[in-house]
Structure 1
Amino acid sequence: MTDEMTIAPERARGGVPDPAPAPRRSRRRAAPRSRWQRIGSLEVLVAGMVVLLGGRVWLGRWLHAGWLETWSTVFVAICVQALPFLVLGTLLSAAIAVFVPASFLQRALPKRPALAVPVAGIAGAVLPGCECASVPVAGGLIARGVAPAAALTFLLSAPAINPVVLTATAVAFPGHPEMVLARFAASLATAAVMGWLWAGFGRPEWLRPPVRRDVAAGAARWPAFRAALQHDFLHAGGFLVIGGITAATLNVLVPRQVLGGLGSVPVVSVVVLSVLAVLLAVCSEADAFVAASLSAFPLTARLTFMVLGPMVDVKLVALQAGTFGRLFAWRFSGATFVVGIVVSSLVGWWLL
């Protein structure tokens, strides 16, 4: 034991060379794997879209399945139409998250919550962003002292009435320009009503205040912008693909008679598309194209689909629960669902 203890210091001084090439070999072996790690979800998503775009006709003929060609045509049409607006929306969302100071709305909003609610709702049209980004932005505003009623109004209005979403709605409904006005009015009214309801009846113990996190002054902006852009695009693009798949499947598998029967009953059609908006969780920059493909339903039902989608869906409930607490998420989402249906039905009856 003493001989081994005396030999160890001699090796440490350099008397006996300690075999150290093992870590170098492990680094050389890890280098090829780092190249494969560069292929992420974004590359897989783009490659899948390219393969489907180029091979949809060939697959339909090879499998002798006309329904597959129809399904892929509807799916590709929805995704291709929505993709430019999706890219533009995620670019704006990432720019706002990185370059716009978090205290901007705090300085611009009135101190009284009753007056701050409509101002925050209008600010959603000036500061566009997807619904995934609106939750952390609202949490940051509350953490910096903004009234919760105003921050929650901005959370609902920003992804629903911004210029990108309204332009996409106009493109998706070229024969119905009144749909743009109806979506703007119904979404803004729903957000404002929910803000006023929280200001009047909300309790502080229902809302878990987010922890304030300030970005370091010397932090690099462009890497953060690139990371935010990739994150938002992957999230929004994935939900767009899910929505396109579901819409294409409905168009192929569900008989036209069934859709026509559901769409012929106003109340049933509104409820069906309201539930569908919650389950599909389509990004707000793309939901207008999914709604336009559901031509068997009346315009009021499709308006409700576009109003509720950016405000209440499964991914937003999860994001709100993680940011503000589960107690808040269930109560706020449930109330928004009911208010959105009522307001959309009234606006649809008035304008459509």
Structure 2
Amino acid sequence: MTTQDRLAEQRRERRERLRNPPTPPVGVLVLVGVCVAAMVGQEIFVVLAGDRPALQAWSTVFVAIVLQALPFLGLGVLLSGLIAAFVPDRVLQRVLPRRAGLAVPVAGVAGAALPGCECASVPFAGRMMTRGVAPSAALAFMLSSPAINPVVLVATAVAFPQEPMMVVARCLGGLGTALIVGWVWARFGRDVPLRPPRAIHAEDGGPWETFRLTVQHDLLQSGGFLVVGALFAATLNVAVDPAWSLTVAGVPIVSVLVLAVLAVLLAVCSEADAFVAASLTGFSPTAELAFMVVGPVVDLKLVAMQTGTFGQAFSRRFAPLTFVVAVVLSLVVGTVLL
């Protein structure tokens, strides 16, 4: 086939695609429909709940968590699709050092380049693994991205205008947690069963078809577990009475643990958790720091998404490890800087 024939064939294919645009996958339409129904149905649910404020609060929290997280989940899914379709394996393997001990800090610092919350980092880290990146480095990236990216740090500065060191403390606590967990996983996590997303390659259609299939797969998988996590988070958000926590605010270590556990239960997006922490005026700055360091690396919706992406065996070990490291670092950094 000559060059002119190939060009003519490409023009015919382009005209055919314009006349018959691809139909969105049924699964994606279902997920979008659920989100739209949640937004529209919230008002109906509130009316039906009547004078039951707990049900009204549950509906509001659930919808807020899902809608707050979906844009960043979409960002992570799109980036993971671009990596799968257009980034050769050798590129990521050349950027990151071969030794896990050196790859972890490089990936941890690089996490600042993904301006999203924890919902975006999970599918992105999973796709990094399918492209040959060491799991410890991909996990360090996953933990650091929602903790030290510029959007989160600016939000923290706005929420704590009278405490500039809070931004520094949050950056050190978040990055330190990512690096320590990454190094520990490189040393002791090799035997833990890990189920990263399967690599998707389109038989026909080239890289754009691979991109479409990857986005569809990651969106349905991560989005489903996001909804499950939001259900649990909304339920616990309503069930936990904030008044009881104020009684332990004056006990330093206990107050740190209380806000750390509260961060796990409330599952607030890392883009907004600084404003929630700033509202907890009865607690010490170190306890507020723990809320902001723990939340982006381990909460209910995040554990649910990690379970769906990497498997239950992974999440049973990874979540407790991350929680302990984040709490200890918050205590250390908060005591020194705040």
- CA RMSD in angstroms, aligned pairs only: 4.0
Q: How far did 1:316 drift?
A: 2.8
Give the letter for the 1:185 counterpart: L
SS in structure 2 of the partner of residue 311 of structure 1: coil
Alpha carbons 2:228, 2:301 under 8 Å: kept:
no
Q: Provide the residue aligned with 1:32 in structure 2.
A: none
Alpha carbons 2:233, 2:265 under 8 Å: kept:
no
Counterpart CA distance in 2 for 1:284 and 1:170 is 13
Q: Provide the residue aligned with 1:147 in structure 2.
A: 134
Out of 293, 301, 304, the residue aligned to residue 287 of structure 2 is: 301
Please give the residue correspondences for 1:122-161 in structure 2 after superposition, counting only pairs within 5 Å: 122-161=109-148
Please give the residue correspondences for 1:186-197 in structure 2 after superposition, counting only pairs within 5 Å: 186-197=173-184
More divergent stretch after superposition (141-150 vs 205-214): 205-214
Q: Provide the residue aligned with 1:25 in structure 2.
A: none
Q: TM-score, normalised by structure 2?
A: 0.70
Alpha carbons 2:152, 2:270 under 8 Å: kept:
yes
Give the letter for the 1:310 counterpart: P
Identity of aligned residues (%): 46
Is structure 2 residue 263 aligned with structure 1 residue 269? Answer: no
Q: Provide the residue aligned with 2:149 in structure 1.
A: 162
Q: How far did 1:132 drift?
A: 2.9
The verdict on how the C-alpha distance between 1:121 and 1:289 changes in structure 2, with shifts beyond 3 A counting, is same
Q: How far did 1:271 drift?
A: 0.8
Alpha carbons 2:76, 2:124 under 8 Å: kept:
no
Structure 1 residues 184-222: Cα deviation after superposition (integer angstroms, max 9, x where no partner): 1100001101111122x3243213243541343242868
Unaligned runs of 5+ in 1: 1-36, 57-61
Counterpart CA distance in 2 for 1:322 and 1:235 is 6
More divergent stretch after superposition (209-218 vs 156-165): 209-218
Bigger Rg over Cα: 1
Q: How far did 1:242 drift?
A: 8.0
Out of 219, 222, 240, the residue aligned to residue 209 of structure 2 is: 219
Alpha carbons 1:41, 1:234 under 8 Å: kept:
no
The verdict on how the C-alpha distance between 1:204 and 1:161 changes in structure 2, with shifts beyond 3 A counting, is same
Q: Provide the residue aligned with 2:80 in structure 1.
A: 97
Is structure 2 residue 103 aligned with structure 1 residue 116? Answer: yes
Q: How far did 1:120 drift?
A: 0.3
The verdict on how the C-alpha distance between 1:184 and 1:235 changes in structure 2, with shifts beyond 3 A counting, is farther
Alpha carbons 1:91, 1:229 under 8 Å: kept:
yes
Q: Provide the residue aligned with 1:206 in structure 2.
A: 192
Unaligned runs of 5+ in 2: 1-29
Alpha carbons 1:117, 1:149 under 8 Å: kept:
yes
Alpha carbons 2:237, 2:266 under 8 Å: kept:
no
More divergent stretch after superposition (315-324 vs 282-291): 315-324
Give the letter for the 1:141 counterpart: M
Q: Provide the residue aligned with 1:333 in structure 2.
A: 319
How many residue pairs align between the two structures?
A: 298
The verdict on how the C-alpha distance between 1:267 and 1:324 changes in structure 2, with shifts beyond 3 A counting, is same
Q: Provide the residue aligned with 1:350 in structure 2.
A: 336
Alpha carbons 1:93, 1:130 under 8 Å: kept:
no
The verdict on how the C-alpha distance between 1:230 and 1:204 changes in structure 2, with shifts beyond 3 A counting, is closer
Counterpart CA distance in 2 for 1:165 and 1:235 is 24
